[in-house]
Amino acid sequence: MKVISQNTAFGGMQGVFSHDSAACKGEMTFAVYVPPQAISEPRPVLWYLSGLTCTHANVTEKGEYRRMASELGIIIVCPDTSPRGSDVPDELTNWQMGKGAGFYLDATETPWAEHYQMYTYITEELPAFASQHFRMDMSRQGIFGHSMGGHGAMTIALRNPERFKSCSAFAPIVEPSTADWSVGAFEKYLGPDKTAWRHYDACALVKDGARFPEFLIDQGKADGFLENGLRPWLFEEAVKGTGIGLTLRMHERYDHSYYFISTFMDDHLKWHAERLG
Q: Per-residue pLDDT tens for 9-23?
A: 999 999 999 999 999
Predicted pLDDT of residue 77? 98
Q: Which of 115, 146, 151, 256 is catalytic?
A: 256
Contact 105, 89 (CB under 8 A): no
Res 99: pLDDT: 97
Q: Does 176 sit behind a cis peptide bond, omega within 30 degrees of 0 on the bond before it? A: no
Question: Is 147 annotated in the active site?
Answer: yes
For 117, which DSSP code? B
- Per cent of the chain over pLDDT 70 is 100
Domains of the chain, first to last = 2-276 (3.40.50.1820)
Looking at residue 52, its pLDDT comes to 97
Residue-level pLDDT at 181: 86
Name the catalytic one among 147, 166, 168, 177. 147
Percent of the chain beyond pLDDT 90?
A: 99
Pairing of strands 75-79, 136-146: unpaired
Q: Is 86 a catalytic residue?
A: no
Residues 176-203, mean pLDDT to the nearest whole number: 97
**Euclidean distance between CA atoms 202 and 179, whole angstroms:** 12
Report CA-CA distances (Å) from 85 to 17, 29, 239: 16, 11, 39
From 151, 223, 268, 272, the catalytic residue: 223
User: Which residues 6+ apart lie within 8 Å of 176 measured at CB?
Assistant: 103, 151, 182, 183, 186, 197, 200, 201
In three-state form (DSSP H/G/I as H, E/B as E, the rest C), the secondary structure along 74-103 is: CEEEEECCCCCCCCCCCCCCCCCCECCECC
pLDDT of 105-151, one tens digit each?
A: 999 999 999 999 999 999 999 999 999 999 999 999 999 999 999 99
Q: How far out from the chain centre does Cα 139 lie?
A: 19
| pLDDT score recorded for residue 219 | 98
Q: What does the mean pLDDT of the chain come to?
A: 97
CA distance 142 to 138: 10
Confidence of residue 168 (pLDDT cuts 50, 70, 90): very high
